[in-house]
Chains A and B, each alone.
Chain A
């Protein structure tokens, strides 16, 4: 089996795997598109190795395989940056939700008649029954 066939086969497996993930809704379409494009692109280059050599001559890279490595690095870098950006968005959303939940809890506590329920389930476990006296000291 030649290396090219191996590359085409690996890319086909990758694309199938992505489609499976998409079908089971474990991957959102906006992230899958990048990978499918990359997979199909590599498969095409594997099927037509001449294209890489032509491309390498065009941009002035002497060894065609180095062009592939460089492109792969750039693509991976961009994906990493995109993921960082997505995480930032998620953190901001989490932050807003945490704030909203806390504000809601305060609203509920003030609306309920006294005595208010203990602070949080976690704290109830940590504090022994005599906890109230210790605090005063």
Chain B
């Protein structure tokens, strides 16, 4: 279980408590992305492993470090969860079960897929709608929430993400999905409940919706046109 955390000292202890309570068997790895607060200190307990990045690399950088760890340690399953407490750890087993049920390599815990009441409004909603429409076509399956930070990966996806997990803006979500699809991974989604953040400030403001869409589409177009070999062996 990989949790990228940047200055999340408020929310992280609660998230870790919940994970330990609901999933006692999971190995938890917190990737501390060069935080300036006590994120690393609060994460170090109950056998939680902490990967301290010396510099702030962005979510993408933190996630690649996490997947590299999973790859080297030989894990067959990695689940990525946000550190702000938006995801309910009780959803994790359902997301993981979907890997086997749908014969998928990567399963996304999606916010708008039937469960939960999480909603965004206005331009940001349209932006996410456009993104999910385009990505759904690329993945040849319905993906309603392309920017979700809750996803489960099998060994093939871990290997791919350990090698290529973009550190660009939105690379951690949109672009990594494009990379996964183009590498021939099967991407599926399952609905999850989304909660309000447990602490800290959200990283987006409504004003930035247009910029968000523009940059996301740009990132996606470039990711699509990038030369790429199919990695990961089988299928």
Contacts and interface: CB of A to CB of B under 8 A. Distances in A.
Contact of A131 (B38, B44, B52, B55): B38
B41 A119 contact: yes
Nearest to A106: B51
Counting contact residues on chain A (CB < 8 A from B), the size range is 10 to 19
Given A106-B69, A135-B13, A99 B53 contact: yes
Interface in B39-69: 40-42, 44, 49-55, 57, 61, 64-65, 68-69
Contacts of B13: 135
A98 B38 contact: no
A120 B40 CA distance: 9
Contacts of A101: 54
Interface size for chain B: under 10, 10 to 19, 20 to 34, or 35 or more residues? 20 to 34
B28 to A, nearest CB: 13
> B interface, by DSSP: helix, strand, loop or mixed?
mixed
Contacts of A126: 38
A127 interface: yes
Contact of A98 (B9, B44, B50, B61): B61
B72 interface: yes
Nearest to A94: B55
A105 interface: yes
B38 A99 contact: no
A120 B52 CA distance: 9
Interface string A113-131: 0001001100100110001
Given A120-B40, A131-B41, A99 B64 contact: yes
Contacts of A116: 44
Contacts of B72: 103
A102 B53 contact: yes
Contact of B61 (A95, A105, A135): A95
Given A94-B55, A95-B57, A95-B61, A127 B50 contact: no
B65 A127 contact: no
A99 B72 CA distance: 13
Contact of B65 (A103, A110, A120, A123): A103
Contacts of B65: 98-99, 102-103
List of 5 A-B pairs having minimum Cβ-Cβ separation, nearest first = A99-B65, A119-B40, A102-B51, A102-B53, A135-B42
Interface of B: 9, 13, 31, 38, 40-42, 44, 49-55, 57, 61, 64-65, 68-69, 72, 167
